[in-house]
Amino acid sequence: MSEYRLPIPTAAPDNVVAKLPPVFRVQSISRLPLDNHCVLNRAGLFHERASLMVEWPSRKVDVRLGAGCLVSIRWLGRPVSLGGAVRISRLVVLGRPEASLDLFQTIPTVWVKERTLVRRASALWQRLPVHFQHLFNAIFWDSRRLHRYLVGASSLKGHHSCVHGNLWHTLEVAEQALKMAQGQPLACPEVLLMAALLHDAGKADEYRLGYSGLELTTRGKLVGHRNTIIEWIAAAIAHARIALPESHYLGLIHALTSARGAPDWLGLREPCTLDAVLLSAADRLSGQIELMARHSPPEAGFGRFHPHLRGRPYVVGATF
C-alpha cells in the first residue's frame, strides 16, 4: 500500500500586520526594569493610518531610539496585546532618508492639530518627482528640524507671525504659485513647487522663543534663512547621495537665491526664470493678504496701521 504525505500548510499572513504602514514615528517612549539583565521598552507610535502602543524586552538600550524618530517594526509572530500594548520583537531606527516615505503622513497630532494643513502639505509633496521627494526627506529627516519647520512662525511681527505660521504661508505660496504657472510653457512646475516648499524652510532655525517672545537666533542674525536652506540642500545631497538633474538643481537654487534690484556687489542674480518670478510674486501676495486680513475692519473703511503695509488697509465693502 502506497503512502501519501500531505504538505504541511504554511501559516497565513496576518491581515492586521499587512494593512499597517511600514514606517511609524515614535510619539513617546519609556523604559522600565524587568530584572537585572533586561528592560521593558514601551513606545507610542503614530502614522496617519494607524496609531498603536508597542512593547518589547531588551538587554541593551538603543540610545538612538527616542521621541520623534522614524522606525519600522520587527514583529514577534502573530501580534498579541498585553496590557494595552502589542508585544513585538523590537523597533528599528531608520537612519537614512527614504525617498518613498511621505513624511507628512507621520506628523503626530500633537505637532499639528489642524490636520487640513498636513493633508495639503502631503498632497503637494506627492506631486514632486522622486528626486525632489528624496531631497525634501533628506533635509527634514531630523525630527527636531521638521518640528520647527511645521510649528514655527514665518516672521517676527509681520505676516503669519503665529504658531504654524511658516507652514501656513508655505502652503499658500506653493498652491498660488502652481495656479499662476498653469498654462505657462516657460514654467517648470516641479522646480517651482520644490522652491515654494523650501523658500522659507530656513526659518526653522532663524527664530526662537526668548524672554520677550519670538526673537532671532544667532544663526538668524548672522546667516539668515536664505543661506541656511542652501546649506541644508548641499548637505542633504552629499549625505544621501541624491542624483538631481543639473537643470532642476540650478533652477531650484536660482529660484531660492535670486532677488530683483539687488546690488551687483552682493553676487545675487536677477530672476531669470519664470519659476523665480512666480515664486517671488506668490510669496509677496501671501504675506500681503494675511496682513491685510488681520488689520482690515470687519466692514467697509480703514483698518489698523501696520508698518509692513505702510499704512492702514481699506475695505471698499459690498454695494447693492
End position of a domain, from candidates 64, 93, 122: 93
DSSP 4: -
Cell of 27: 510619539
- The confidence band for 15, taking pLDDT boundaries of 50, 70 and 90, is low
* pLDDT tens-digit map of 288-298: 999 999 989 98
**CATH number of the structural domain spanning residue 35:** 2.40.50
pLDDT at 264 over 70: yes
**Stretch (H or E) spanning 47:** strand 39-47
Q: Is the pTM of this model over 0.85?
A: yes
What percent of the chain is predicted at pLDDT more than 90?
73
pLDDT value, residue 12: 46
pLDDT at 77 over 90: no
The DSSP secondary structure of 272-291, one letter per residue, reads -SHHHHHHHHHHHHHHHHHH
Residues 34 and 149 in one domain: no
Average pLDDT over residues 286-315: 91
pLDDT at 8 over 60: no
End position of a domain, from candidates 36, 71, 93: 93
- The confidence band for 320, taking pLDDT boundaries of 50, 70 and 90, is low
Residue 304 lies in a domain: no
Give the number of domains in the chain. 2
pLDDT value, residue 211: 75
pLDDT at 3 over 90: no
Boundaries of domain holding 85: 20-93
Residue 46 lies in a domain: yes
Residues 127 and 74 in one domain: no
Q: Give the β-pairing of 80-82 and 85-87.
A: antiparallel
* pLDDT tens-digit map of 117-138: 999 999 999 999 999 999 999 9
Average pLDDT over residues 10-33: 80
Task: Name beta bridge partners: 311.
Answer: 306
End position of a domain, from candidates 71, 93, 115: 93
* pLDDT tens-digit map of 226-249: 999 999 999 999 999 999 999 999
Closest of 178, 112, 154 to residue 288, by C-alpha? 154
Q: Give the β-pairing of 85-87 and 50-58.
A: parallel
Average pLDDT over residues 91-106: 95
Average pLDDT over residues 31-37: 84
In order of 40, 61, 89, 96, the CA distances from 35 in angstroms are 9, 14, 18, 34
The string over 88-112, giving b where at least 16 C-beta atoms fall within 10 Å of a residue's C-beta and e elsewhere, is: bebbeebeebbeebbbbbbbbeebb
* pLDDT tens-digit map of 187-196: 999 999 999 9
Cell 507621520 found at: 106
Residue 198 lies in a domain: yes
pLDDT value, residue 82: 77
